[in-house]
Amino acid sequence: MVARVVTPLRNDRLRQLPLEFEHTPSHAADDFLVGEGNALAHGRIAAWPHWPDAVTLLIGPAASGKSHLARIFADRSHAVMVTPETITAIAEADGRGPLVVEDVDRLGYDEPSLFHLLNQAMRGNRTLLLTAREDIAKWPLATDDVRSRVRRAPAFRLEVSDDIELSHMFAKLFGDRQIKVDPKIIHYLVARMERSPEEVAVLADRMDRLALARGTAITRTIAAEALALREAEREGGSQQDWDPSSDE
């Protein structure tokens, strides 16, 4: 996919007011950036409904693309998105439709209900997609019932493997915000940043806020300031503005 990156507009009047605008990340299938670090996971989602196993697990850090793949799967399969508030009712209904359970290692799902959904899937009654940040061994589970079931499922990791993938992540995040950024600025960031999907999301948000506050396009000066702020935050252990619970 071609990255949507062009030279910034110097007279972009729409970005002159220091106001906060909500933006919605695109979870369209065509907007998912396939690279070496996520190709297997993407291929697995694209292969539905021809999965040899009823349960699939996606593992990766925050902002690595798990939620994007989960939305693609939900669109393809018409799956229901399970939440900690709805899991018990869905499990008790004993249905057959595909399900998505995101952040299964972090959101405190009811374990007996999760165990029931896994059993339904393993009996061939439904398809189940799980996402998590941590390996199964690190999940905070009270018993091994869920862990033993999930270990039978194939796990696909999402990782950022090179500068190109980091650059593409910046391009997508800026595109979601309808911001035009010079590719040279993205190259500048990638060469100096902490190498992780989470850091891409934090820096993109920080630069957008700085540019909005000053009524300018995102420049190399703003990029340098965002990098310096992040370094100071890491050294001081301060809390970042970006919400780490967001797992796009």
What does the pLDDT look like over 169-212, one tens digit per residue?
898 889 888 899 999 999 999 999 988 888 888 999 999 999 99
Model's pTM, two decimal places?
0.69
Task: Check whether 68 has a pLDDT greater than 80.
Answer: yes
For the domain bounded by 161-235, which CATH number is listed?
Answer: 1.10.8.60
User: Which range, 22-26, 157-161, 180-184, 195-199, is most confident?
Assistant: 180-184
Side-chain-side CA neighbours of 171 within 13 Å: the count stands at 20
Same fold, 35-157 and 161-235: no
Burial of 67 (0-12, 13-18, 19+ CB in 10 A): buried
What confidence category does residue 246 fall into, taking pLDDT thresholds of 50, 70 and 90? very low
Q: What is the DSSP string of 192-246?
A: HS-SSHHHHHHHHHHHHHHHHHHTS---HHHHHHHHHHHHHHHHHTPPPSS-TT-
What residue spans define the domains of the chain?
35-157, 161-235
Rounded Cα distance between 207 and 229, Å, is 10
Report the CATH superfamily, name and number, of domain 35-157: P-loop containing nucleotide triphosphate hydrolases (3.40.50.300)
Q: What is the DSSP string of the chain?
A: ------PPPTT-GGG-S-----------GGG----TTTHHHHHHHHHTT--SSSEEEEE--TTSSHHHHHHHHHHHHT-EEE-TTTHHHHHHHT--S-EEE-STTTS---HHHHHHHHHHHHTTS--EEEEESS-GGGS--SSSHHHHHHTTS-EEE----SHHHHHHHHHHHHHHTT----HHHHHHHHHHS-SSHHHHHHHHHHHHHHHHHHTS---HHHHHHHHHHHHHHHHHTPPPSS-TT---
Task: Check whether 12 has a pLDDT greater than 90.
Answer: no
Residue 63 has what pLDDT? 74
Rounded Cα distance between 169 and 3, Å, is 9
Q: What are 135-153's pLDDT values in tens digits?
A: 999 999 998 999 999 999 9
Residue 155 has a CB neighbour count (10 Å cut-off) of 17
- Between CA 59 and CA 74, with CA 131 as vertex, the angle to 5 degrees is 130
Residue 32 has what pLDDT? 80
Output the average pLDDT for the chain: 85
Q: Which of 17-26, 49-58, 111-120, 196-205 has the lowest mean pLDDT?
A: 17-26
Q: What are 206-243's pLDDT values in tens digits?
A: 999 999 999 999 999 999 999 999 999 888 765 444 44
Mean pLDDT of 53-75: 93
